[in-house]
Amino acid sequence: MHEYDLLVVGSANADLVIGVERRPGPGETVLGGDLAVHPGGKGANQAVAAARLGARTALLARVGDDDHGRLLLGSLRAAGVDPVGMLVGGAPTGVAVITVDRSGDNSIVVSPGANARLAAADVRAAGGLFGAARVVSTQLEIPVGTVVETVRSLAPGSRFVLNASPPAEVPAEVLAACDPLVVNEHEARALLGDPAGDDPRRWAWPLLALGPRSVVITLGAAGALVADGLSGPPVMVPSPRVEAVDTTGAGDAFTAALAWRLGLGEPLATAAAYAARVGAAAVTRKGAQASYPTEGELPAG
């Protein structure tokens, strides 16, 4: 019996959010609204999103001994995430500066802070968490060496999910463990270098050729494309139609829901359809973690 449905190894940031009429171009200054501070970071976001849905979740991450760190720890506890893996100190808490325009689209700059100090040694010291987890999920807002150590620490029979965001070079050892590799269109292009054409349906097989056992390409309002190396051609999974208010953190909610449902034994396309409902619900509210739904708040599939 696994103690956790999902162990997230990743980042925890304070999100500094400014609403703007439009995002600035190079060399341009625009006026925005009042600054809002929210708990965020891809790792913390995934953990909170999964816990809100009912998954037994733990997070291995590092924050600073500061107000932003205390904000994050409070948010995790309030959502029901087990904070046993949270480490404090080494650097200030990471910060993400986010601009959100009228359409709900965002641009993000991240200062890693304590996230850059989450080390391979921290992963090795958390071996008990890995043995207790059905699924382990991570992202690329922490050092790549820490991601490699995460793969090496997987317990027999556990499943590994990587959201390759932000784009970075991913070692072959990590790609080979992915089941699935989750990317959006920008991240897919970064991994493939120069993909053939503009149709993501043509990218699934080249991504699988990099080594992952399965691939999910998220397509925003269009849903997602899923490809399992063992089960035939790629499949499009639609997203419910909603009015987007803020897309911040929606991809993290999708990945968390996907990882949890895969751990329950659902097929990839079925889990992705559920995750698309979660991501759609998240974009209808402002913020990242504050936007994440409970099971009863999901739109119809």
Is there a binding annotation on residue 218?
yes
Token pair, residue 5, equals 């449905």
13 is in an annotated binding site: yes
Residue 286, annotated ligand binder? Answer: no
Across the chain, the runs of DSSP E, i.e. the strands, are 4-9, 13-19, 36-40, 57-63, 86-88, 94-100, 106-111, 133-138, 159-163, 178-184, 214-218, 224-228, 235-237
287 annotated to bind ligand: yes
249 annotated binding-site participant? no
Q: For 265, phi and psi rounded to 5 degrees?
A: 100, 10
Sheet with 106-111, strands from edge to edge, namely 36-40, 13-19, 94-100, 106-111
Residue type, 264: L
Known binding residue 221? Answer is yes
Q: Is 252 annotated as a binding residue?
A: yes
Q: Is 199 a catalytic residue?
A: no
Instruction: Tell whether residue 42 is among the known ligand binding residues.
Output: yes
Tell me the two tokens of residue 298. 């999901």
| Residue 77 labeled ligand binder | no
Q: Please identify which of the residues 5, 122, 179, 252 carries the catalytic annotation.
A: 252
d(CA 276, CA 219): 10
Residue 34 in marked binding region: no
Question: What Rg do the C-alpha atoms of the chain give, in angstroms?
Answer: 18
Binding-site sequence positions? 13-15, 41-45, 141, 184, 218-223, 246, 248, 251-252, 282, 285, 287, 291
Residues annotated in a binding site for substrate = 13-15, 41-45, 141, 252
What are the residue numbers of the active site? 252
- Binding site for ATP: residue ranges? 184, 218-223, 251-252
Binding residues for K(+), by number, are 246, 248, 282, 285, 287, 291
